[in-house]
Amino acid sequence: FPYLPCIEVGTKKNYIPLEVCVVLDGQHCRQKLDENQTATVVKKAAVPPAERFQNIQGAVQDCIKNNKEYLDHFGIHISTDPVKVQARVLPAPDVLYKNNVPVSPRNGAWEIQGTEFYQPANMTKWSVLSLCNTRFCPRPAIEKFVSMVISHGKKLGMSVEPPQAIKECGQNNRLLNVLRKEKETIPGLQIVFVVVVNKSPFYNELKSAGETEIGVMTQCVTDKSITNKCNPMLVNNILQKVNAKLGGVNNTIPKSVKSVIFSKPVIVMGADVTHPGAKEFNRPSIAAVVASTDPFAFRYITAFRIQKQNMEVKARVEIIEDMKNIAKELLLGFYNANNQIRPHKILFYRDGVSESQFRQVLDHELAAIRAACMELEPGYEPGITFLTVQKRHHTRFMPENRRDGCGKSGNIPPGTTIDTTVTHPVDFDFFLCSHFGIQGTSRPAHYYVLWDDNEFTADALQKLTFGLCHTYARCARSVSIPVPVYYAHHATQRAKCYVDARSDIYDSAGSSSGGTLPSMDFLDAAISVQSLMKGAMFFV
């Protein structure tokens, strides 16, 4: 059978028939896991800290036992006890709502019922569009949800009018045409609530159509949320996102937390790069940077770019290539949003960089930001503090005394900071766990200061960083990394939605074959948002 497929083995291209081969157990699978597999892995890996440390100690003891002869011969002694470190718990900052009403977080969370947004937005021109079968999401359920949005929005200080329309739309209709008609029908349309099935295949198309082609904001709500989970907590969470999208400010943190550098205008920036997953040969890497535009460090704008070098060498490129133009675009956005006032300081959080790339980041990205400032105005040299945020590491902590733990799992409490023993002896770095670990063992973020013109003390930078974990627009919780980093990640994912939506059409048209990337012009057009979106937080 000369035409039956064989397995290629080794560098010399030896071919072996499939039927005589066996796949050994425990092989590494480089394909993307499906939803059920991912859930299984997450559940299996969610081990409480006490159990995790016990497992590690057991593994070390087994290693010592199995290699005792060699260890004794070389005089090597391995301790089975974890390293003890001195830690301190930063006090959680009050979160300020309208009229500077303070709310005190407890275990990294707080209630927003009984408060009003710091700066509530108006929602007077909006509509509801259902893409679901009316059998699974009937109109009365949608009307009940709309009623709750109106009543809870008013309780949170928003000015909410009844929707201009509630419509059912068949899934066979192209979303681009549906949204365009909606915008033409309703002058001044601010946002469209779109009811979708869970894990909707239309999500990418919806976001791409609304934000890159039509210029209208959308808010997705699943049918199950409306029919099964329509409660005040769910509606409040949705309204937090909507208020941010429409230009409002949900909350802020006190001036005492923001450090003295906020006495003059400061721009807070976050950056991330997303890479294609396994087997996604026809997708590019995408870089995104976000920047604050208000004194509260709550509102952010974004700019994203396709990584061109990734397309040429087909390898992951972490350094943001067009950083100078991105920085200019965002600095101009701050300038225009603040009555032509330039920021005096830049605080830059960079995600996704390993230690081996620190020098590259400084040489390219920091230099690009400085060049952007000089191009905007000769002699313009704001002080820059540039630090990386790392979550992909293997350092874990647990309280020495179980009673000092937080919640059922016994994790370290939010605000736990470690800057001795397990940090660099000379450089400025620290670990900060800013979130409440609901399950498994909390993974602290590792912050490494690569450059600091602003001469932060360790206390001031740790306090500010912890404070920036409390202004996340999606929920009333402190999150595991500062919001500019979180938003940069969301922005890369949103740009990926645009690329996927356009590329699916591109691929189905037969324009791409063999896993080749679309052209650079095609990709740049795919991630170019409408002008109405550029000053908005459409990515939350």
pLDDT digits (tens, 9 = 90+) for 310-365: 555 555 788 999 999 999 999 999 999 999 999 999 999 999 899 999 999 999 99
In a domain, residue 306? The reply is yes
In a domain, residue 107? The reply is no
Give CA–CA dist 486/470, Å, rounded: 12
Average pLDDT over residues 381-405: 95
Same domain, 126 and 232: yes
Give CA–CA dist 189/134, Å, rounded: 25
**CB neighbours of 234 closer than 8 A, spacing ≥ 6?**
225
Give CA–CA dist 484/161, Å, rounded: 32
- What digits encode the pLDDT tens for the residues 25-70? 888 877 778 888 888 988 888 999 999 999 999 999 999 999 999 9
Residue 309: pLDDT over 90: no
- Give me the residue label for tokens 């003890």: 84
Encode 425-446: b = buried (16+ Cβ within 10 Å), e = exposed. eeebbbbbbbbbbeebbbbbbb
Residue 1: pLDDT over 70: no
In a domain, residue 444? The reply is no
Q: Cα–Cα distances in Å, from 170 out to 4, 164, 195, 210, 250? A: 46, 19, 12, 18, 35
Give CA–CA dist 206/200, Å, rounded: 10
What is the predicted pLDDT for the residue at 314? 56
Residue 421 backbone zone (phi > 0: left; psi -120 to 50: alpha; other: beta):
left
- What digits encode the pLDDT tens for the residues 494-503? 999 999 998 8
Question: What backbone torsions phi and psi does residue 299 show, to the nearest 5 degrees?
Answer: -90, 135
CATH number at residue 324: 3.30.420.10
Same domain, 181 and 239: yes
Q: Which of 124, 107, 111 is CA-nearest to residue 158?
A: 124
Bridge-based pairing of strands 191-196 and 217-222 is parallel
What is the predicted pLDDT for the residue at 506? 55
Amino acid at 83: V
Torsion of CA 395, 401, 405, 411, to 10 degrees: 20
Same domain, 374 and 516: yes
In a domain, residue 445? The reply is no
Same domain, 377 and 514: yes
Give CA–CA dist 378/380, Å, rounded: 6
Same domain, 264 and 360: yes
Q: Which of 119, 151, 161 is CA-nearest to residue 236?
A: 151
Same domain, 367 and 514: yes
Last residue of a domain, one of 218, 248, 278: 248
Lowest mean pLDDT among 109-123, 163-177, 210-224: 163-177
Last residue of a domain, one of 226, 248, 270: 248
Amino acid at 334: F
Mind spelling out the 3-state secondary structure of 29-88? CCCCCCHHHHHHHHHHHCCCHHHHHHHHHHHHHHHHHHCHHHHHHCCCCCCCCCCCCCCE
In a domain, residue 487? The reply is yes
Average pLDDT over residues 408-437: 96
Q: Of 30-44, 379-393, 398-412, which has the strongest mean pLDDT?
A: 379-393
**Banded model confidence at residue 470, pLDDT cuts 50, 70, 90:** very high
In a domain, residue 415? The reply is no
Same domain, 264 and 223: no
Same domain, 132 and 211: yes
In a domain, residue 500? The reply is yes
Q: Which residue has the higher pLDDT, 171 or 17?
A: 17
Q: Cα–Cα distances in Å, from 296 out to 2, 118, 149, 267, 370? A: 70, 10, 26, 10, 24
Last residue of a domain, one of 225, 248, 271: 248
Encode 158-175: b = buried (16+ Cβ within 10 Å), e = exposed. bebeebbebbbbeeeeeb
What is the predicted pLDDT for the residue at 513? 47
- What digits encode the pLDDT tens for the residues 432-442? 999 999 999 99
Same domain, 274 and 209: no
What are the start-end ranges of the H helices in 112-192? 139-155, 175-185
**CB neighbours of 25 closer than 8 A, spacing ≥ 6?**
none
Q: Which residue has the higher pLDDT, 403 or 87?
A: 87
Structure tokens at 106: 């407890």
In a domain, residue 152? The reply is yes
Round the CA-based radius of gyration of the chain to a whole number and report it: 26
Q: Cα–Cα distances in Å, from 473 out to 55, 232, 476? A: 37, 17, 8
Same domain, 353 and 279: yes
What is the predicted pLDDT for the residue at 49? 95
Give CA–CA dist 69/143, Å, rounded: 74
Number of domains in the chain: 3
Q: Cα–Cα distances in Å, from 322 out to 332, 511, 539? A: 16, 28, 21
CA atoms within 13 A on the CB side of 450: 25
Give CA–CA dist 145/163, Å, rounded: 12
Same domain, 193 and 315: no
Lowest mean pLDDT among 25-39, 115-129, 366-380, 434-448: 25-39
Helix (H) or strand (E) holding 15: strand 14-17
Q: Which of 173, 179, 185 is CA-nearest to residue 214?
A: 179
- 526 neighbors 499 (Cβ within 8 angstroms): yes
Same domain, 57 and 150: no
Give CA–CA dist 87/447, Å, rounded: 15
Residue 295: pLDDT over 80: yes
Bridge partners, residue 305, by sequence: 287
Structure tokens at 121: 């937005």
Domain that holds residue 197: 120-248
